[in-house]
Amino acid sequence: MGLRETFLPWPVLRQALAAVGGGDRLGRGAAARSGRTDALTPRIATADRVAASVCPYCAVGCGQLVYVKDEQVVQIEGDPASPVSRGRLCPKGAATKQLVTNPLRETRVRYRRPHGTEWEDLDLDTAMGMIADRVIATRAQTWTDRDDQGRRLRRTMGIAALGGATLDNEENYLIKKLGTALGAVQIENQARI
């Protein structure tokens, strides 16, 4: 083993040599680089594509760029083109990738039958059919056409919905539209909690 292999990778020595010999007196240029640094490529440079998006956390509405490689989100950064945020994200927004790629995300439908003690698997298609059946049955069972004074109510108080405030406008619109057609008036949102 020669001197070079033994001592040169030692950062202090490398930085000292760069400062003295390389003109990097502040130690922020060549001194801070290593072979590994030079071999690194940013994920945003190797991404297949980038989608313009909006931060899902607070309502400031910072622009995000979502980088995708091999159909996976590989990085989310601030969008410099956004007039709201000018490329900036707060620490929470800058960690959005950890929200959307979180290992704790469930990706399968789970079903708990009445009085059941464990989750069971259920096909998405079957689940959708079962939920539609529940809505129809509960609505029929709880339908109130008129109140005790004979006034028209045309509603069910048997079905309610509560949504979060990260639902898109379009999603809210469909929830209210379908709920109203079904006569479900208890359609609510985090907006009033």
Partner 1 sequence: MAECHPVGFQWVMEAKARGATLIHIDPRLTRTGALADLHVPIRAGTDIALLGGLINYVLGNGLEFREYVVNYTNAATIINEDFKDTEDLDGLFSGWRDDTASYSTDSWQYEGVRVASAAGKRQQGAKEAREAGTQRSYQRHATERGHEHGSHGASLTDLHNLRRDETLEHPRCVFQLLKRHYRRYTPEQVATICGIPEELFRQLARAVTENSHRDRTTAWAYAVGWTQHTVGVQYIRAASVLQLLLGNIGRPGGGIMALRGHASIQGSTDIPTLYNLLPGYLPMPHPDSHGSLDEYVADDSADTGYWGNMRAYAVSLLKAYWGDAATADNDFCFDYLPRITGDHSTYQTVQAQLDGTCKGYFLNGQNPAVGSANARAQRLGMANLDWLVVRDFSMIESATWWKDGPEIESGELRTEAIGTEVFFLPAAAHTEKDGSFTNTQRMLQWHHKAVDPPGDARSDLWFWYHLGRRIRAKLAGSTAERDRPVLDLNWSYSTSGAQQEPSAEEVLQEINGRQADGSCLSTYE
Angle, CA of 55, 62 and 67, to the nearest 5°: 55
Nearer of residues 10 and 145 to partner 1, judged by Cβ: 145
Q: To the nearest whole angstrom, how small is the minimum distance from the Cβ of residue 119 to partner 1?
A: 7
Q: Encoding tokens for residue 44?
A: 């945003």
Q: Encoding tokens for residue 117?
A: 């003690």
Q: Does 46 bind partner 1 (CB under 8 A)?
A: no
Rounded Cα distance between 51 and 169, Å, is: 19
- x-or-dash string of contact with partner 1, 136-155, rule CB under 8 A: x-xx-xxx-x-x---xxxxx
Near partner 1 in 50-109, by CB under 8 A: 51-64, 66, 68, 71-73, 76, 84-86, 88-90, 93, 99-100, 102, 104-109
Near partner 1 in 2-31, by CB under 8 A: none
Q: To the nearest whole angstrom, how small is the minimum distance from the Cβ of residue 134 to partner 1?
A: 5
The stretch among 1-9, 21-29, 30-38, 184-192 that binds partner 1 (CB under 8 A) is 184-192
Give the distance from CA 121 to its chain's centroid.
Answer: 24
Q: Does 110 bind partner 1 (CB under 8 A)?
A: yes
Contacts with partner 1: how many residues (CB under 8 A)? 109
Q: To the nearest whole angstrom, how small is the minimum distance from the Cβ of residue 41 to partner 1?
A: 20
Q: Does 40 bind partner 1 (CB under 8 A)?
A: no
Q: To the nearest whole angstrom, how small is the minimum distance from the Cβ of residue 168 to partner 1?
A: 3
Return the closest-CA partner of residue 172 out of 185, 184, 188, 183: 188
135 backbone dihedrals φ, ψ, rounded to 5°: -60, -45
> Does residue 77 contact residue 84 with C-beta atoms inside 8 Å?
no
> Does residue 165 contact residue 141 with C-beta atoms inside 8 Å?
no
Rounded Cα distance between 168 and 190, Å, is: 13
